[in-house]
Amino acid sequence: MSRAEIVLQAPCDALVVPLEQVPDPVFAGGQLGPGLAIEPLGQTLHAPCAGTVVMCATTRHALTLRLGDEPDAPELLLHLGLDTVELGGRGIEALVAVGQQVEAGAPLLRFDADLLAREATSLVTPLVFIAGVQLRIEAQAPGRVTQGETLARLSFATDAGRSGEAGGPRCEGSATVALEAGLHARPAAKLKAIGEHHASRLSFALDGAEAEAGRLTAMLGLGIGFGSRVAVRAEGGDAAAALREAIALLETAEGARSPSAAGIDAGVSRVLDAIDADGVLRGVAASTGVAVAPLVRLRAQRIEVARAGAGVEQELARFDRALGELRTQLGGDRARATREEDAQILAAHLEWLDDPELTERTVAGIERGESAGFAWRETLDAQIAQLERAESALIRSRAGDLRDLEQRLLALLEGVESAVAVPHGAILVADDLTPSQLIQLDSVEPKGLCLAAGGATSHVAILARARGLPCLVGMGQALGDALDDETLESVRLAVLDAERGTLELRPGPERLAEAQRRRDSLAREHAEAFGAASSEARTRDGALIEVAANIGHPDEAEAAFAQGADGIGLFRSEFLFLDRPVAPDRGRQRADYQAALDAMQGKPVIIRTLDIGADKQLDYLRLGQTPNPALGMRGVRLIEGHQALLVDQLRALLECRPPAGKGGLRIMLPMVTDLLDVRRVREWIDTLVDELGLAEDADFVAPELGVMIEVPAAALCAASLAREVDFFSIGTNDLTQYTLAMDREAPGLAARMDALHPAVLRLVRLCVEGAALYGRKVGVCGAAAGDEIAVAALIALGVDELSMEPARVPAIKAWVRRLDRARLAARIDEALALDDAAQVRSWVARSITTNP
């Protein structure tokens, strides 16, 4: 096999699925590596190329081939279905063994397709290269393939070399983009702020195209993706500092991403275009759930505009008036929004509307004699086309936002009613839908949404998830072809099963009854979990587990309380310091902390002190360059060089008053290594209590002081730390990365970054044992706290509290009530003796199944 090219054969008869359409953020976002996926139509997977079997999961759901004898040879992972690890190997038979050499076409895995379709999330099977090899798909088979047919041709990609230097009033350099989702609106805004802060004009160039910071449309139109090599130029002001900070931002991976968008990079650029003989259409699940309802088709409305204007002055006046009206509409919609997701998206639309790139080009068209409507449409259509050509699926998905603005402004200019009229309680079918259209449809309570285009990262998908609305996207031309007017009239009830990614046009009576039972069951589970969310979560054998929420802003505390959270397990205070030119003053901080305390009505609120460094940087805090930012000046270590910032935060915290004098406030220190860190902060707290005269205040309740266990040293010193702190909270994200020595933002390592690795779990046990010596509680506030399999293992190890995103609280409380801590704890040593995280996950899943 040539090292320059790899040819993959279809492992079985299958439908070809681009990797970005896989309904799993880890695969769709390319975090495991490049590749593609298939939806099997057979029941045996064959080798897509020659190689050596170097891994076969104990649950037999995944297998890895090494494509050569060299140490750096590419490795191809075949992952049969999604979430199939939870089956514990049921329905899957391995036909090869580790170490065995196979030729292309050799049978690898045999599986029960019916069982997997019923019990797994999806049969979609990713094929990805995981050994850090950078590949480019040169050709990919469209649609359906037969076993042995050429599936794809891939070639090795090469990295651009480094270049550039900085100095003087005009500085130039380059950056290799580490933003996993590429350059999108949030980092683009930060780049603009960097330029403004240093009075410098920043510009960026890629593949011959150039854009200035602050021109959002042009910046996104560059299509800067993860790994792009971007030329950066700074002119004027402190150009050297601006260049340095801009490059640092581009080359630093983003952190603290929202779980609802949680890494999803599944925008659909090529659709499935498949309908089977039973009238089943397939799509990509953007929001899960099951709906049984009539179908209603929404047809796109094209607003006609005249090309020639009525005069430059008149058209400019019309344009300015329409801009003002739309700005007022968006502001009002945002103020009335009852969901945070709605408000955030409407705020983003306001930012787009103020983009000078859009207004300047429209004005230029008007000055050439065009009407305001024609100039606006031409401007927006050009920008939409540019976004849709971007490599990043996330950037492509934002074209829908511009289309929304285009339609709303045209409606105002031409006096057209933009509201969508549809019947109540239907499954809506459309080529595409804009965010504002979906918000308007709330009043008719749609039961589901099916789109020919769209992607799982689009704002429509985000809004659908926020509403719990089953939604399929990327359904292709087949959706329109199948649903002509006659078909729509004949379909009395359809089944939208976003759990399986299907829309069934001709369900029989038995299937309708089954779908209705499943829909009702899901609704009951959700309602029961939400209804019982305010009740305590006790395991079946009576162990009380506190289930709290993670927040980054005081407004989120109200949502946490409404979801039944037992407290705030992690208030990420650093988010109050981000995206602003200077640090918030003590009064502003105190008001935000107090708002969270008030919202929780006396329940405990754990506020983490400023955790800046590594993936979170402040424009106004110079931390200096370091080869390993994750190991540098971050967390509590800031007291070394930025003492005033931390002390000011401690003052603001001590000045807060929990409701009715209850002791709800707890202070938590991040990145603690040993007792030296704790004692320094404790001394400052004692000093500030005296300085503020709090010791004489009868209403003052001293806050508890705890530490985050994020580094192995802290876990190993848990017993000594427990002597002097009040509680532990384990940050499993960082603890896993530091224990395994794997960067959690490195896409090639994502598959192995699992908090259920036996080494991590042994450190958790050390924490629990050390805390128990002094009666301290141990919580977990990392991603593992919202992972049901991980929760079972953590509870077995003795963890007392779990903290996660607010929306997960009801479901995790319900899950905890199903577990038997004593039974799991009696056998957890078996899990700690296993080889890796995958084996642990399989063991836990089997243990839960066999101990109902």
Residue 674 and residue 800 in one domain: no
Average pLDDT, integer, range 437-449 = 83
Does a structural domain hold residue 261? Answer: no
Q: CA triplet 386, 391, 392: central angle to 5 degrees?
A: 100
**Whether residue 463 sits in one domain with residue 380:** no
Confidence of residue 258 (pLDDT cuts 50, 70, 90): very low
Look at residue 474 and tell me whether its pLDDT is greater than 60.
yes
Are 467 and 359 in the same domain? no
How would residue 663 be classed by pLDDT, with cut points 50, 70 and 90? low
Write the CATH number for 362: 1.10.274.10
Q: What single-letter amino acid sits at 776?
A: R
Residue 271 maps to a domain: no
803: domain CATH number is 3.20.20.60
Last residue of a domain, one of 391, 414, 437: 414
Strands of 107-111's sheet in order across: 44-46, 107-111, 92-94
Residue 258 forms part of a structural domain: no
Cβ neighbours of residue 841 closer than 8 Å, sequence gap 6 or more: 85, 754, 756, 789
Residue 259 belongs to a domain: no
Answer whether residue 528 is part of any domain.
no
Q: Whole-number mean pLDDT of the chain?
A: 80
Q: What is the CATH number of the domain that holds 451?
A: 3.50.30.10
Q: Are residues 660 and 560 in the same domain?
A: yes
What range defines the domain where residue 338 resides? 312-414
List of residues 6+ apart from 285 with CB closer than 8 A: 23, 122, 456, 471, 472, 498, 499, 501
Of the candidates 386, 414, 442, which is a domain's last residue? Answer: 414
Pick from 588, 529, 554: nearest CA to 340: 554
Of 354, 381, 414, which marks where a domain is finished?
414
Where does the pLDDT of residue 418 fall: very low under 50, low under 70, confident under 90, or very high at 90 and above?
A: low
For the whole model, what pTM was predicted?
0.50
* One domain, residues 47 and 81: yes
Give CA separation, 23 vs 31, 177, 485, in Å. Answer: 13, 25, 30
Strand order in the sheet with 150-156: 5-9, 150-156, 135-140
569, 443: one domain: no
Question: How far is 293 from 577, CA to CA, in rounded Å?
Answer: 47
- Token output for 721: 């730390």
Residue 218: CATH number of its domain: 3.30.1340.10
702 in the same domain as 602: yes
Could you write out the DSSP letters of every residue in 374-388? HHHHHHHHHHHHHHH
Q: What is the total count of domains within the chain? A: 6
Tens-place pLDDT, residues 793-845: 999 999 999 998 787 888 899 999 999 999 999 999 999 999 988 889 888 88
Lookup: tokens for 377: 């449409």
Query: Token pair 């010193």 is at which residue?
Result: 717
pLDDT in tens, 125-180: 999 886 545 667 766 766 778 888 888 887 764 333 333 333 446 888 888 887 76
| Residue 690 sits in the same domain as residue 570 | yes
Assign residue 100 the CATH number of its domain.
Answer: 2.70.70.10
Q: Evaluate whether residue 226 is within a structural domain.
A: yes
Dump pLDDT digits (tens) for 690-748: 999 998 888 888 899 999 999 999 999 999 999 999 999 999 988 998 899 876 544 44
Identify whether 525 is part of a domain.
no
263 belongs to a structural domain: no
pLDDT at 165: 34
Q: Are residues 123 and 51 in the same domain?
A: yes
- 683 and 578 co-located in one domain: yes
- Do 656 and 714 lie in a common domain? no
Q: Which residues are catalytic?
A: 459, 781
Considering the domain architecture, whether residues 26 and 69 belong to the same structural domain is answered as yes
Q: Token match 């990392």: residue?
A: 782
